């Protein structure tokens, strides 16, 4: 799980062009949207692509993204539960 979280942080930084951020700058329990990293709706769509591309997980309903992408930790948990 720890390894997955580290990997995810790196992938998120790259996919969302979070310039000048290091994986350690992201608190895995911190909220990704809203106040946290200040991500927006396009970032949410990009995270959906990331899950499908890197983990083969398809989110059919974008509205589910809200809970899945709450934090890096919730994302990692979702990946572990659904990874093929």
Binding site for another protein (CB under 8 A): 15-19, 38, 40-43, 45-46, 48-49, 52-53, 62
Categorise residue 27: left if φ over 0, alpha if ψ from -120 to 50, beta otherwise.
beta
Asked whether the beta carbons of 39 and 45 are under 8 A apart, the reply is no
Rank residues 1 and 56 by Cβ distance to another protein and give the closer one: 56
CA atoms of 74 and 65, how far apart (whole Å): 11
Minimum distance from residue 18 beta carbon to another protein (Å): 7
Q: Encoding tokens for residue 72?
A: 């890096």
Rank residues 1 and 49 by Cβ distance to another protein and give the closer one: 49
Minimum distance from residue 57 beta carbon to another protein (Å): 13
Rank residues 29 and 64 by Cβ distance to another protein and give the closer one: 64
Minimum distance from residue 80 beta carbon to another protein (Å): 21
Q: Which residues pair with 39 in a beta bridge?
A: 33
């Amino acid at each position: 799980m720890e390894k997955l979280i580290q990997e995810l942080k790196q992938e998120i930084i790259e996919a969302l062009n979070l310039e000048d951020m290091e994986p350690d700058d992201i608190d895995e329990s911190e909220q990704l949207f809203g106040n946290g990293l200040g991500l927006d709706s396009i970032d949410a769509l990009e995270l959906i692509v990331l899950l499908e591309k890197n983990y083969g997980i398809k989110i059919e309903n974008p509205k589910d993204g809200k809970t899945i992408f709450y934090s890096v930790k919730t994302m990692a948990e979702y990946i572990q539960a659904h990874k093929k």
